[in-house]
Amino acid sequence: MSKEDKDKIADEKLLDIANKWYQQMQNASIPYISLPTRTKHNIEYDEDSEVWKYGDKETLRVANSSKGAVHLLKMAYVVGFLKQQLKENRSSTLREMYYISEGWKKAKFSAQDESNHLVEDLEIITELSRESFHLRPEDDGATIYGPLKIREKTRRGDRDMHCQQDVGEGGYPIPNNVDNLEFIGHDAKFVIAMETGGMYARLMENGFDEDYDAVLVHLKGQPARSTRRVLKRLNQELNLPVVVFTDGDPWSYRIFASVAYGSIKAAHMSDTLATPGAQFIGVQPSDISNYNLPSDKLTEGDIAALKAELSDPRFDTEYWRSEINLQLKMGLKSEQQAFAARGLDFVTKEYLPARLSEMGIL
Amino acid sequence: MSKEDKDKIADEKLLDIANKWYQQMQNASIPYISLPTRTKHNIEYDEDSEVWKYGDKETLRVANSSKGAVHLLKMAYVVGFLKQQLKENRSSTLREMYYISEGWKKAKFSAQDESNHLVEDLEIITELSRESFHLRPEDDGATIYGPLKIREKTRRGDRDMHCQQDVGEGGYPIPNNVDNLEFIGHDAKFVIAMETGGMYARLMENGFDEDYDAVLVHLKGQPARSTRRVLKRLNQELNLPVVVFTDGDPWSYRIFASVAYGSIKAAHMSDTLATPGAQFIGVQPSDISNYNLPSDKLTEGDIAALKAELSDPRFDTEYWRSEINLQLKMGLKSEQQAFAARGLDFVTKEYLPARLSEMGIL
C-alpha cells in the first residue's frame, strides 16, 4: 500500500471518531467512547493466535461529568492535531505533542503519561498504530546486518540499502516507522535476534551471517516496537524463521516472550508486533551445566521472577517448565557473552550450529 | 595512517610494556609499573588545552607483594591476549575479555570493574585508546545525518556512504572504532549535536541540515566515546564549528561539558575525545523566560547540581555563572522539545537561526 493510501485510511479513522460523537449528539445522547478496560485483570492469553489480547471488559468515557467531558475534549484536540499533521505530511514525537497541548487551554495534558495513554486509547479505537498517525517514539529501533535488501521510503526519496554491502559495521538502523520499509530481496535462511551489542558484533566479526545466510538483528535489550514489527514482518512476509538469543536469566526470557507473544503494555498491538513462531535459542539453563559456562548466583529477585514465569501462560510448556525448574535447582544464571570463556569462535562454530540443528533450522 | 600501520604501533606499545619488565628484571629490580594516580584528587583542569587531565601524583604497582605480583600477572595476560588479537585481526568486547580471563588461572579477573580498570591503565601507559587494541565497548555510538561523505574501513572492505543520500531516516550509525572512518567529502558549515532523538528527528524532518548545511549528530544522552571522538575529528580535520543542543538542566550542561572539556572518568583520553572549541547553543536558562517555554520546577537534586557547577572550573566563565545564577533564581528547567509549544517549526525557523547568528556561526 502506498504511503498516501495509508495516510488516507488513518485520516478516515480519525474522522470516524468525530463522526460517532456527532451522531451521538444528533440522537440526543451524551457523547462517549467505549474501550476495553486496560488493566492487568483484563488481559488474556489468546490460545488461537498465541499472543496477549484484551479481554471482554469495557470502560465507558462519557461527557456527563466535567472529568469525562474534559477527557473527550482532549481526545478531540488530539484527533484534530493528528489530522492536521497527516494533511501537512508532518510528524512529531509523543513528547512534542505533549508540549503542543500547552496551547489547548482546558485540554492541556497535565503529564506525559496522560497523553501517552490517550494515544494508546486511539490505537485501540482505530486499530492503527501511533506511527500511522505520524507519531514517533523518542527511541530508535535496533540495527540489522545480513543478506537482506531494504527499500526505505524517506522524506527525501527512496533509499535502497543492502544490509551487508551498503552499510558500515554499525549496520542498518531500523527507523521509527517500519511501515515505510519494503524488503526487496534477500538470500537469508533465518533471522537471529540478539540481546546484546557484544554478541551482535561477535556474529558479524565471525562472519556468521555469511556462513549461515543469517539476518542479524540487535534487540538492544527490551526491544522497541519498531524492532518487534520488523521481526514480525521478516517472519511473515519472507517466511524466515526467527530465533532469539539472550542472556540466561528470567529478565531475558521476558525479552523473548515480548518478541514471541507480545507485551502486556501493548496487548492491543499483539497482532502486528508479536511473532508467535519465534523460538528461543539460548542461553538455556541446561547450557550452563552442559557447557560449564561462567555463571553468577541467582539473586532473590531472579528467583521470584523465575517463579512468576512458572505461572505465566506464555511459559506454560514442558520445555520452559523443565528449564526454569532446572535453573531454580542450580541457582545459577549466565550471560550470552560467557561463551567467550571457551574462545571467541565457540559460539558461532559450535554452540549456535548445534542448537540450530536441534531446532530444525539448519 | 593505514589500519596495518595502526595495528603495528599498538603491537609495539604492548611489547614495550613487556620489554620494560624484562629490563627491570635484568637490572635485578623487582618488576613494576608507574601510573598517574587515578582519583578525583589527581585530576586537574588544564588551562592551556582547556581539558581535564591527570595531575603529577603517581602510583606504583610493584611485584614485591602477592597482590602487586598478581596485578602485573593480570596485565601480562591482557597484553598477551591483545597482542594475539591484533595478530589475528580479531576484536572483542570488554565483557568477552573478562570471560576469557576464566582460563587465566591466578590472573582471572574477579569482576568486570577490575578488567575495565586495567584496560584504562593500559590506555594511560600506551597513550593509545582501547579501540587501538581492538577492544569494543558494549554500546554503539550515536547517529549522523547531513552533508557529509564517510568512508568506513570494514572487515568486508571499504564502504562509502553519504550521510543524506545513502542512508535511511535512522541516519548513519557511528561504529565502535571511529579511527576506521575517513571523511571523504562534505558541504557542511557546522555540526549540531543534540541530546534527544526527538530533536534530531525534528531537525531532519524540517530539513535543517539542507537549509543550513548542518551535520546533525544525535548524542543519545551522555555521549559514548566514539561519538565524542567523531565530534572532535569533525572539528579538527574539517574545521567545522561544533555546537551542542541539550535540555536546559544541570545534567545536560554536563553532557555539553563532557563534549567540550572531557570527563573525569576518561581524563587520560581528553586530548583525543574533547572538543574545547565546542559551544553550548541551548536550552539556556535565559531562553526559558525569553521564550516563555513550558518548564518544570527544579528539584533539590537539580539545585545541588547547579551549585556544584558554580564551583566547577569548566563552568567558571561569566556566561555560565550568569546563566546558572539566573536558573537558580527562577527555579525552573525546560527540555529542548518544549519549543514545540510554539509550533513544530519554531525551533528550526526561529530559535536556532537566532542563536547561531548571535554565536557568529551563521
User: HEC profile for chain A?
Assistant: CCHHHHHHHHHHHHHHHHHHHHHHHHCCCCCEEEEECCCHHHEEEECCCCEEEECCCEEEEECCCHHHHHHHHHHHHHHHHHHHHHHCCCCEEHHHHHHHHHHHHHHCCCCHHHHHHHHHHHHHHHCCCHHHHCEECCCCCCEEECCEEEEEEECCEEEEEECCCCCCCCCEECCCCHHHEEEEEECCCEEEEECCHHHHHHHHHCCHHHHHCEEEEECCCCCCHHHHHHHHHHHHHCCCCEEEECCECHHHHHHHHHHHHCCCCCHHHHHHHCCCCCEEEECCHHHHHHCCCCCEECCHHHHHHHHHHHCCHHHCCHHHHHHHHHHHHHCEEECHHHHHHHCCCHHHHHHHHHHHHHCCCC
Kindly name the residue from B99, B261, B291, B319 that is annotated as catalytic. Answer: B99
Cell of A93: 514525537
Looking at residues B332-352, what average pLDDT do you find? 95
Considering the domain architecture, whether residues A101 and A199 belong to the same structural domain is answered as no
Residue A326 C-beta-side C-alpha neighbours within 13 Å: 16
Considering the domain architecture, whether residues B125 and B151 belong to the same structural domain is answered as no
Considering the domain architecture, whether residues A154 and A123 belong to the same structural domain is answered as no
B148 compared with A105, residue with greater pLDDT: B148
Mutation pick from A95, A153, A158, A216 vs chain B, by most beta carbons of B within 10 Å, is A95
Q: How far is B358 from chain A (nearest CA, A)?
A: 26
pLDDT tens-digit map of A248-286: 999 999 999 999 988 777 788 888 899 999 999 999 999
Q: How far is A41 from chain B (nearest CA, A)?
A: 34
Is residue B140 scored above 90 in pLDDT?
A: no
pLDDT tens-digit map of A280-312: 999 999 999 999 999 999 999 999 999 999 988
Considering the domain architecture, whether residues B86 and B177 belong to the same structural domain is answered as no
Is residue A141 scored above 80 in pLDDT?
A: no
Of A99, A166, A201, the CB nearest to B93: A201
Q: How far is A164 from chain B (nearest CA, A)?
A: 8
- The number of domains in chain B is 2
Q: In whole angstroms, what is the distance from residue B189 CA to residue B192 CA? A: 10
In this predicted structure, what is the pLDDT of residue A36? 86
Q: In whole angstroms, what is the distance from residue B146 CA to residue A245 CA? A: 34
In this predicted structure, what is the pLDDT of residue B163? 97
Cβ(A298)–Cβ(A333) under 8 Å?
yes
B154–A169 C-beta distance less than 8 A: yes
CB atoms within 10 A of CB A121: 20
CATH of the domain at A35: 1.10.10.10
Specify the pTM.
Answer: 0.91
Looking at residues B253-267, what average pLDDT do you find? 88
Check if B99 is active-site.
Answer: yes
In this predicted structure, what is the pLDDT of residue A56? 85
Which residues 233-292 of B have a C-beta within 8 angstroms of A?
A: none
pLDDT tens-digit map of B98-132: 999 988 999 999 988 899 999 999 999 999 999 99
**Does the annotation flag A195 for ligand binding?**
yes
B109 interaction partners in chain A (CB closer than 8 Å) = none
Task: List the single residue in B with minimal CA-CA distance to A85.
Answer: B344
Considering the domain architecture, whether residues B37 and B157 belong to the same structural domain is answered as no
Is residue A154 scored above 80 in pLDDT?
A: yes
In this predicted structure, what is the pLDDT of residue B16? 95
Q: Is B173 on the interface with A (CB under 8 A)?
A: yes
pLDDT tens-digit map of A35-93: 888 776 787 878 787 777 888 888 899 999 999 999 999 999 999 999 999 999 999 99
The percentage of residues in chain B with a pLDDT greater than 90, rounded to a whole number, is 78
Q: What is the mean pLDDT of chain B?
A: 93
Domain boundary among the residues B81, B110, B136 is at B136
Cell of B239: 574545521
Domain boundary among the residues A136, A157, A187 is at A136
- Domain containing B98 equals 3-136
Residue A217 C-beta-side C-alpha neighbours within 13 Å: 31
Q: How confident is the model at residue B333 (pLDDT cuts 50, 70, 90)?
A: very high
Q: How, if at all, do strands B214-218 and B242-245 pair?
A: unpaired
Is residue B214 scored above 80 in pLDDT?
A: yes
Q: Which of A206-215, B265-274, B329-338 has the lowest mean pLDDT?
A: B265-274
In this predicted structure, what is the pLDDT of residue B278? 96
Considering the domain architecture, whether residues A64 and A160 belong to the same structural domain is answered as no
Considering the domain architecture, whether residues B180 and B308 belong to the same structural domain is answered as yes
Which residues 186-225 of A have a C-beta within 8 angstroms of B?
A: 196-198, 201-202, 204-205
B161–A167 C-beta distance less than 8 A: yes
Which phi and psi angles does B191 have, rounded to 5°? Answer: -120, 130
Please list, in sequence order, all residues whose beta carbon lies within 8 angstroms of the beta carbon of residue A275, skipping any fewer than 6 positions away. A228, A231, A232, A235, A236, A242, A259, A260
Cβ(A55)–Cβ(A36) under 8 Å?
yes
Considering the domain architecture, whether residues B319 and B239 belong to the same structural domain is answered as yes
CATH of the domain at A324: 3.40.1360.10
Considering the domain architecture, whether residues B247 and B296 belong to the same structural domain is answered as yes
pLDDT tens-digit map of B41-58: 787 878 787 777 888 888
Domain boundary among the residues B136, B161, B185 is at B136
Q: Is A176 on the interface with B (CB under 8 A)?
A: yes
Q: How confident is the model at residue B86 (pLDDT cuts 50, 70, 90)?
A: very high
**Does the annotation flag B195 for ligand binding?**
yes
In this predicted structure, what is the pLDDT of residue B49? 78
Q: How confident is the model at residue B314 (pLDDT cuts 50, 70, 90)?
A: confident
When mean pLDDT is compared over A64-68, A241-245, B35-39, B292-296, the highest value belongs to A241-245
A58-A61-A62-A68 Cα dihedral, nearest 10 degrees: 150
Of B140, B166, B168, the CB nearest to A175: B168
Rg from Cα positions in chain A: 23
A171–B337 C-beta distance less than 8 A: no
Considering the domain architecture, whether residues A124 and A160 belong to the same structural domain is answered as no
Cβ(A137)–Cβ(A225) under 8 Å?
yes
Considering the domain architecture, whether residues A118 and A156 belong to the same structural domain is answered as no
Considering the domain architecture, whether residues A94 and A148 belong to the same structural domain is answered as no
Provide the number of CB pairs (under 8 Å) joining chain A to chain B: 154
Of A92, A141, A152, the CB nearest to B344: A92
Is residue B265 scored above 80 in pLDDT?
A: no
Please list, in sequence order, all residues whose beta carbon lies within 8 angstroms of the beta carbon of residue B235, skipping any fewer than 6 positions away. B191, B241, B242, B275, B277, B278
Is residue A137 scored above 90 in pLDDT?
A: no
Looking at residues B148-169, what average pLDDT do you find? 95
In this predicted structure, what is the pLDDT of residue B47? 79
Q: How far is B335 from chain A (nearest CA, A)?
A: 10
Cβ(A209)–Cβ(A193) under 8 Å?
no
B91–A205 C-beta distance less than 8 A: yes
The percentage of residues in chain A with a pLDDT greater than 90, rounded to a whole number, is 78
Is residue A25 scored above 90 in pLDDT?
A: yes
